[in-house]
Homo-oligomer: A and B are copies of this chain.
Amino acid sequence: MKTRIGILGYGNIGKGTEIAVADSDDMELAAVFTRRDPDDVKILTAGVPVLSADVIEDWKDKIDVLVLCGGSATDLPVQTPKYAKLFNVIDSFDTHAKIPEHFSNVDAAAKEGGHLAFIAVGWDPGMFSLNRVYANAILPDGKDYTFWGKGVSQGHSDAVRRIKGVKNAKQYTIPSEEALEAVRSGKNPELKTRDKHIRECFVVLEPGADAAMVEKEIKEMPNYFADYNTVVHFIDEDEFIKDHSGMSHGGFVFRSGKTGVNKENKHIIEYSIKLDSNPEFTTSVIIAYARALKKMFDEGARGCKTVLDIPPSYLCRQSPEELRSQFL
């Protein structure tokens, strides 16, 4: 029997989840729930109902894993504990500093409801966290580095768009090649904020706006840009639409460690991703973990778990025998 997936929230993550389910022959999409008027939400999969989030409880016995596709700022802190009482749930909560609190809330709710919940599933947190943990376990004496990009930062793009005279803007976070090379070479550099990432902005001005003023305002903006090397490009709307509508992203996780009687041997572990679609990669991770969730729930696991708790083989469709002969 296929694992029945429900989706709550049909933005980029909801749509990506739908696509990932369609690519998984052991899963089927049961229903999409929305807080909008369901008539306004058109999904890709024929024959799957789009329903108001108000009726979600009626689906308690018709969904194996509910994927929560809301935002981390205000949606998920409320939704994940709420729905973990009713369903097995999985979210991509990504406010790193609040993960312990979110974990406690979701764990209590899932245990109360007799369900299993996975939180913080995606690439960071998610695949990057896994790589930090594996690499730290292997090389206890070492240094960690995480770089993000090249990719769009939504928060920084919003900040530029709020400047007077700016019609539209995209901000790319770009890891510094020099910093990457220093880490790769085993130099274990001490990197300041400014050393790690460059911020590149593509800006469409309102008619008559003062480019020099806008550029100055961007570069001096505290927290967002003042601590970085920032490059600003002014482009016209056509170019903006043509070249800057994508959702690509990426990043790097390094561990640089030492072993040996006199710590004379250096080792570098590097994990990197380069993604055409940030939301589709994130939801591909989520759906692999939804598979693991169903298996662990069937085996009796309850409460909240993260990627750190899940045996890798549980993510796969293949049997343990197939995995050992194909991949080990």
Q: Among A130, A275, A312, A317, which residue has the most Cβ atoms of chain B within 10 A?
A: A312
Q: Do residues A265 and B277 form an inter-chain contact, with CB atoms below 8 A? A: yes
Q: Do residues A19 and B138 form an inter-chain contact, with CB atoms below 8 A? A: no
A48 touches B (CB below 8 Å)? no
The interface stretch among A28-36, A82-90, A201-209, A302-310 is A302-310
Q: Which residues of B contact A19 (CB under 8 A)?
A: 259-261
Q: Among A19, A20, A133, A321, which residue has the most Cβ atoms of chain B within 10 A?
A: A133
Take A137-B288, A276-B267 as given contacts and tell me if A312 and B323 are in contact as well, using a CB distance cutoff of 8 Å. Answer: no
Q: Which residues of B contact A99 (CB under 8 A)?
A: 324-325, 328
**Nearest-Cβ distance from residue A324 to partner chain B, whole angstroms:** 6
Complex-state Cα separation, A103 to B322, whole angstroms: 13
Chain A interfacial residues counted at CB < 8 A: 68
Q: Do residues B23 and A141 form an inter-chain contact, with CB atoms below 8 A? A: yes
A63 touches B (CB below 8 Å)? no
Q: Do residues B129 and A328 form an inter-chain contact, with CB atoms below 8 A? A: yes
Complex-state Cα separation, A134 to B121, whole angstroms: 13
**Nearest-Cβ distance from residue A299 to partner chain B, whole angstroms:** 13
Q: Mark A123-140, 1 if CB is under 8 A from B, else 0.
A: 001010111111011111
Q: Mark A88-124, 1 if CB is under 8 A from B, else 0.
A: 0000000010011001000000000000000010000
A268 touches B (CB below 8 Å)? yes
Q: Do residues A274 and B268 form an inter-chain contact, with CB atoms below 8 A? A: yes
A273 touches B (CB below 8 Å)? yes
A270 touches B (CB below 8 Å)? yes
A residues within 8 Å of B by Cβ? Answer: 16, 19-20, 23-24, 44, 96, 99-100, 103, 120, 125, 127, 129-134, 136-141, 184, 186, 259-261, 264-277, 280-281, 284-285, 288, 291, 306-313, 315-317, 320-321, 323-325, 327-328
